[in-house]
Amino acid sequence: MKVGIVGAGMVGSAAGYALALLGTVREVVLVDRDAALALAQAQDIAHAVPFASATQMGAGGYDRLQGADVVILAAGVSQKPGETRLELLGRNAEVFRAIVGEVLRVAPDAILLVATNPVDIMTDVATRLSGLPPTRVIGSGTILDTARFRSLLGAHLGIAPQSVHAYVLGEHGDSEVLAWSAARAGSVPIRAFAAQVGAALTDDVVARIDHGVRTAAYTIIEGKGATWYGIGAGLARIVRAILRDEQAVLSVSILTPEVEGVSDVALSVPRVVGRAGVTAALFPELDRAEHDALRRSAELLKATADALTL
């Protein structure tokens, strides 16, 4: 199995590093407009491989992506001083116009995995530009937010985050929705489990965890400028689900026909992910406030996407 990564910056290289250490794939190829950067990242990761796996690392132009099963899109431009969010989106859409065409020229059967932010809008853009079925253009969405939610819940309850089944829905961003009412520890509703182990989910605890999930990225960015390890591991997890045809339930973003009355919007809900891409969407049971919050998140994303001219 072969994975391509377009964009050899911190996110792209972190994804490549995670894939190499996990040994999920046979080959990883990095592509970047800065060929020297792509080569340097590939060589650096290759020097870690002997300690962990047999993954082959490479770098080059788009032709090196031939035969790729999955291509991660991690390229984009930075916001200029005085530039609006919509203007930035327009420039990133132009970057994607060139990238997507080149990727599909050499790897027409690849599943596209979008990591570039704002990831939900860029997933919509990649879907429209590629002409591929939405099920084959997957955004990393709230997979990282969901991991943060489970990590904080697990820490409070004193259990492994892998035993927490809770999801963040909607936008990967400020309007995201923590689905508290559907959260479970094992098979037990989260509040009942918390009461059983003497770790009650008081209003203060809920507010602290909610704040921790929503502000995690801001805290990390303030401290070191950007986030990359968490999302790199999240991208590797999605790739594993695809290449091993796991039919795993992951909170990822695709262009969705309808969510809370909003049509054709890219956002995250739990979805079944395997070799064919996304094969099903699962909508958790939510309370009224969560339904309303998810609708507002969908409306915000839809309005932004509709304002963007391709």
State the pLDDT confidence band at 307, using cuts at 50, 70 and 90. confident
Question: What pLDDT, on a 0 to 100 scale, did the predictor assign at position 85?
Answer: 66
**pLDDT tens profile 125-136:** 999 999 999 999
Residue 92 pLDDT: 87
Indicate if the pLDDT at residue 206 is higher than 80. yes
Rounded to 5 degrees, φ, ψ at 165 are: -115, 95
Q: Is the pLDDT of residue 34 over 90?
A: yes
pTM (2 d.p.): 0.94
User: What tens digit of pLDDT does each residue of 266-279 get?
Assistant: 999 999 999 999 99
Query: Which are the catalytic amino acids?
Result: 172
Task: Supply angle C-alpha 308, 220, 169, rounded to 5.
Answer: 50
Burial 260-289 (b: 16+ CB within 10 A, else e): bebebbbbbbbbbbbeebbeebeebebeee
% residues pLDDT > 70 (the chain): 98
The average pLDDT across 242-263 equals 97
